[in-house]
A = this chain, B = another copy of it.
Protein backbone atom coordinates (compact mmCIF):
# COMPACT_ATOMS: atom_id res chain seq x y z
CA UNK A 1 0.00 0.00 0.00
CA UNK A 2 1.38 3.37 -1.03
CA UNK A 3 1.11 5.74 1.91
CA UNK A 4 1.64 8.82 -0.25
CA UNK A 5 -1.19 7.98 -2.62
CA UNK A 6 -3.52 10.68 -1.35
CA UNK A 7 -1.09 13.50 -0.80
CA UNK A 8 -1.92 16.61 -2.78
CA UNK A 9 -0.53 20.11 -3.04
CA UNK A 10 -3.15 22.86 -3.29
CA UNK A 11 -2.01 26.28 -4.48
CA UNK A 12 -3.93 28.46 -2.04
CA UNK A 13 -4.12 32.23 -2.38
CA UNK A 14 -6.89 32.65 0.15
CA UNK A 15 -9.31 33.71 -2.58
CA UNK A 16 -12.60 32.18 -3.63
CA UNK A 17 -11.27 29.94 -6.41
CA UNK A 18 -8.37 28.38 -4.51
CA UNK A 19 -10.59 27.90 -1.45
CA UNK A 20 -13.02 25.98 -3.66
CA UNK A 21 -10.05 23.84 -4.74
CA UNK A 22 -9.33 23.16 -1.06
CA UNK A 23 -12.94 22.08 -0.58
CA UNK A 24 -12.71 19.76 -3.57
CA UNK A 25 -9.42 18.25 -2.43
CA UNK A 26 -10.86 17.72 1.06
CA UNK A 27 -14.00 16.14 -0.37
CA UNK A 28 -11.86 13.76 -2.41
CA UNK A 29 -10.02 12.63 0.72
CA UNK A 30 -6.67 14.17 -0.16
CA UNK A 31 -4.00 14.71 2.50
CA UNK A 32 -3.57 18.41 1.74
CA UNK A 33 -0.37 20.46 1.67
CA UNK A 34 -1.55 24.03 1.07
CA UNK A 35 1.04 26.20 -0.65
CA UNK A 36 0.83 30.00 -0.61
CA UNK A 37 3.08 32.28 -2.63
CA UNK A 38 4.11 35.61 -1.16
CA UNK A 39 5.72 38.19 -3.35
CA UNK A 40 4.55 41.60 -2.30
CA UNK A 41 3.14 43.47 0.63
CA UNK A 42 -0.46 43.39 -0.51
CA UNK A 43 -0.38 39.68 0.04
CA UNK A 44 -0.06 39.79 3.81
CA UNK A 45 -3.86 39.80 4.17
CA UNK A 46 -4.12 37.09 1.52
CA UNK A 47 -1.68 34.95 3.48
CA UNK A 48 -3.82 35.38 6.59
CA UNK A 49 -6.90 34.26 4.65
CA UNK A 50 -4.99 31.32 3.22
CA UNK A 51 -3.81 30.34 6.70
CA UNK A 52 -7.39 30.47 8.01
CA UNK A 53 -8.66 28.33 5.12
CA UNK A 54 -5.84 25.81 5.62
CA UNK A 55 -6.68 25.65 9.34
CA UNK A 56 -10.35 25.16 8.52
CA UNK A 57 -9.40 21.99 6.68
CA UNK A 58 -6.71 20.89 9.13
CA UNK A 59 -4.19 21.07 6.30
CA UNK A 60 -0.52 21.88 6.65
CA UNK A 61 0.26 25.33 5.29
CA UNK A 62 3.51 26.28 3.61
CA UNK A 63 4.56 29.68 2.38
CA UNK A 64 6.89 30.12 -0.59
CA UNK A 65 8.40 33.56 -0.20
CA UNK A 66 9.22 34.64 -3.72
CA UNK A 67 9.66 38.15 -2.36
CA UNK A 68 13.03 37.06 -1.02
CA UNK A 69 13.97 35.69 -4.44
CA UNK A 70 12.87 38.79 -6.27
CA UNK A 71 14.50 41.08 -3.73
CA UNK A 72 17.76 39.23 -4.28
CA UNK A 73 17.48 39.20 -8.05
CA UNK A 74 15.78 42.56 -8.55
CA UNK A 75 17.53 44.95 -10.85
CA UNK A 76 17.13 47.62 -8.21
CA UNK A 77 19.32 45.59 -5.88
CA UNK A 78 22.43 46.65 -7.80
CA UNK A 79 23.11 49.28 -5.16
CA UNK A 80 23.38 46.78 -2.33
CA UNK A 81 25.11 43.99 -4.26
CA UNK A 82 28.58 45.00 -5.31
CA UNK A 83 28.89 42.01 -7.63
CA UNK A 84 26.08 43.27 -9.82
CA UNK A 85 27.42 45.21 -12.75
CA UNK A 86 25.70 48.44 -13.80
CA UNK A 87 22.50 47.96 -15.72
CA UNK A 88 21.05 50.49 -18.08
CA UNK A 89 17.61 50.10 -16.55
CA UNK A 90 15.60 50.39 -19.77
CA UNK A 91 13.33 47.52 -18.86
CA UNK A 92 13.43 48.06 -15.12
CA UNK A 93 11.98 51.55 -15.18
CA UNK A 94 8.80 50.57 -16.91
CA UNK A 95 8.04 47.47 -14.84
CA UNK A 96 6.98 47.63 -11.20
CA UNK A 97 9.12 45.57 -8.82
CA UNK A 98 6.12 43.50 -7.85
CA UNK A 99 5.39 42.42 -11.41
CA UNK A 100 6.03 38.70 -11.72
CA UNK A 101 6.42 37.55 -15.30
CA UNK A 102 5.53 33.94 -16.06
CA UNK A 103 3.75 33.82 -12.72
CA UNK A 104 1.80 30.59 -13.12
CA UNK A 105 4.83 28.85 -14.61
CA UNK A 106 6.84 29.86 -11.55
CA UNK A 107 4.07 28.87 -9.12
CA UNK A 108 3.55 25.49 -10.78
CA UNK A 109 7.31 24.81 -10.94
CA UNK A 110 7.60 25.44 -7.19
CA UNK A 111 4.45 23.43 -6.50
CA UNK A 112 5.90 20.57 -8.54
CA UNK A 113 9.21 20.68 -6.68
CA UNK A 114 7.30 20.74 -3.39
CA UNK A 115 5.02 17.89 -4.52
CA UNK A 116 8.02 15.74 -5.37
CA UNK A 117 9.59 16.57 -2.02
CA UNK A 118 6.59 15.43 0.03
CA UNK A 119 5.53 12.64 -2.32
CA UNK A 120 2.29 14.28 -3.47
CA UNK A 121 0.77 12.98 -6.67
CA UNK A 122 -1.47 15.89 -7.56
CA UNK A 123 -1.35 19.68 -7.69
CA UNK A 124 -4.66 21.53 -7.45
CA UNK A 125 -4.72 24.99 -8.93
CA UNK A 126 -7.72 27.27 -9.31
CA UNK A 127 -6.62 28.80 -12.62
CA UNK A 128 -9.59 29.90 -14.62
CA UNK A 129 -9.60 30.63 -18.33
CA UNK A 130 -12.91 32.51 -18.44
CA UNK A 131 -11.98 35.19 -15.90
CA UNK A 132 -8.58 35.69 -17.49
CA UNK A 133 -9.02 35.81 -21.26
CA UNK A 134 -5.77 37.75 -21.74
CA UNK A 135 -3.56 35.36 -19.76
CA UNK A 136 -2.00 32.55 -21.81
CA UNK A 137 -0.97 30.74 -18.62
CA UNK A 138 -4.60 30.29 -17.57
CA UNK A 139 -5.59 28.35 -20.71
CA UNK A 140 -6.05 24.58 -20.97
CA UNK A 141 -3.37 24.50 -23.72
CA UNK A 142 -0.85 25.83 -21.24
CA UNK A 143 -1.81 23.34 -18.54
CA UNK A 144 -1.55 20.50 -21.09
CA UNK A 145 1.92 21.71 -22.12
CA UNK A 146 3.02 22.00 -18.49
CA UNK A 147 1.74 18.48 -17.81
CA UNK A 148 3.65 17.13 -20.81
CA UNK A 149 6.78 18.88 -19.52
CA UNK A 150 6.36 17.16 -16.14
CA UNK A 151 5.74 13.82 -17.84
CA UNK A 152 9.01 13.92 -19.78
CA UNK A 153 11.09 16.01 -17.38
CA UNK A 154 10.70 14.26 -14.03
CA UNK A 155 11.78 10.84 -12.89
CA UNK A 156 8.28 9.99 -11.65
CA UNK A 157 6.83 11.16 -14.96
CA UNK A 158 9.09 8.95 -17.05
CA UNK A 159 8.17 6.05 -14.77
CA UNK A 160 4.48 6.53 -15.51
CA UNK A 161 3.43 7.97 -12.14
CA UNK A 162 3.62 11.65 -12.95
CA UNK A 163 2.50 14.44 -10.66
CA UNK A 164 -0.85 15.53 -12.10
CA UNK A 165 -1.75 19.20 -12.50
CA UNK A 166 -5.46 19.30 -11.70
CA UNK A 167 -7.45 22.36 -12.75
CA UNK A 168 -11.06 21.65 -11.80
CA UNK A 169 -12.23 25.25 -12.30
CA UNK A 170 -10.49 26.05 -15.56
CA UNK A 171 -13.65 26.19 -17.69
CA UNK A 172 -16.11 27.33 -15.03
CA UNK A 173 -17.56 30.82 -14.64
CA UNK A 174 -17.67 32.58 -11.28
CA UNK A 175 -21.30 31.62 -10.60
CA UNK A 176 -20.50 27.94 -11.30
CA UNK A 177 -17.57 28.11 -8.90
CA UNK A 178 -19.70 29.71 -6.19
CA UNK A 179 -22.40 27.05 -6.61
CA UNK A 180 -19.77 24.31 -6.34
CA UNK A 181 -18.23 25.99 -3.28
CA UNK A 182 -21.66 26.17 -1.64
CA UNK A 183 -22.37 22.51 -2.32
CA UNK A 184 -19.04 21.60 -0.74
CA UNK A 185 -19.56 23.93 2.26
CA UNK A 186 -16.36 25.80 1.43
CA UNK A 187 -15.57 28.47 4.05
CA UNK A 188 -16.16 31.41 1.74
CA UNK A 189 -16.50 33.71 4.77
CA UNK A 190 -12.73 33.34 5.23
CA UNK A 191 -11.80 34.27 1.68
CA UNK A 192 -10.33 37.53 0.46
CA UNK A 193 -11.14 38.83 -3.01
CA UNK A 194 -10.82 42.62 -2.86
CA UNK A 195 -7.94 43.85 -4.99
CA UNK A 196 -7.03 46.33 -2.26
CA UNK A 197 -6.98 43.64 0.41
CA UNK A 198 -9.53 45.59 2.44
CA UNK A 199 -11.89 44.23 5.07
CA UNK A 200 -14.70 45.06 4.75
CA UNK A 201 -14.12 44.66 1.01
CA UNK A 202 -14.36 47.78 -1.13
CA UNK A 203 -17.09 46.31 -3.35
CA UNK A 204 -15.95 48.49 -6.23
CA UNK A 205 -12.71 47.08 -7.61
CA UNK A 206 -12.85 44.65 -10.55
CA UNK A 207 -12.23 41.67 -8.26
CA UNK A 208 -15.07 42.62 -5.90
CA UNK A 209 -17.44 43.27 -8.80
CA UNK A 210 -16.69 39.93 -10.44
CA UNK A 211 -17.28 38.19 -7.13
CA UNK A 212 -20.54 40.05 -6.36
CA UNK A 213 -21.88 39.40 -9.86
CA UNK A 214 -20.99 35.70 -9.44
CA UNK A 215 -22.96 35.48 -6.20
CA UNK A 216 -25.90 37.29 -7.80
CA UNK A 217 -25.95 34.89 -10.79
CA UNK A 218 -25.54 31.88 -8.49
CA UNK A 219 -28.47 33.08 -6.37
CA UNK A 220 -26.34 32.94 -3.22
CA UNK A 221 -25.49 35.46 -0.54
CA UNK A 222 -21.87 36.50 -0.14
CA UNK A 223 -20.86 35.88 3.49
CA UNK A 224 -18.12 38.53 3.57
CA UNK A 225 -18.70 42.17 4.48
CA UNK A 226 -18.58 45.06 2.04
CA UNK A 227 -18.12 48.73 2.72
CA UNK A 228 -20.97 49.48 0.31
CA UNK A 229 -24.02 47.50 -0.40
- Residues of A near any B CB (own CB < 8 A): 3-4, 35, 51, 54-55, 58-66, 68-69, 72-73, 75, 78, 81, 83-87, 90-92, 95, 99-106, 108-110, 112-119, 136-137, 139, 141-142, 145-146, 148-155, 157-158
Contact = CB atoms under 8 A, between A and B. Distances in A.
Contacts of A102: 109, 112-113, 116, 153-154
Contact of A141 (B114, B139, B145, B152): B152
Nearest to A58: B85
Contact of A75 (B78, B118, B137, B150): B118
Contact of A91 (B4, B95, B137): B4
Nearest to A59: B85
Copies of the protein in its oligomer: 2
Contacts of A151: 145
Nearest to A50: B83
B91 A117 contact: yes
A106 B115 CA distance: 13
Given A85-B55, A106-B110, A113-B106, A65 B60 contact: no
Contacts of A90: 3-4, 119
Residue among A83, A91, A118, A154 facing the most chain B CB atoms (10 A cut-off): A83
B114 A109 contact: no
Contacts of A108: 109
B72 A60 contact: no
Residue among A101, A116, A139 facing the most chain B CB atoms (10 A cut-off): A101
Which 9 pairs of residues, A with B, have the shortest CB-CB distance? A101-B116, A109-B109, A68-B68, A142-B153, A145-B149, A60-B85, A102-B113, A65-B72, A137-B153
Contacts of A73: 35, 62-65, 110, 114
A157 to B, nearest CB: 7
Contacts of A136: 152-155, 157-158
A32 to B, nearest CB: 10
A100 B153 CA distance: 14
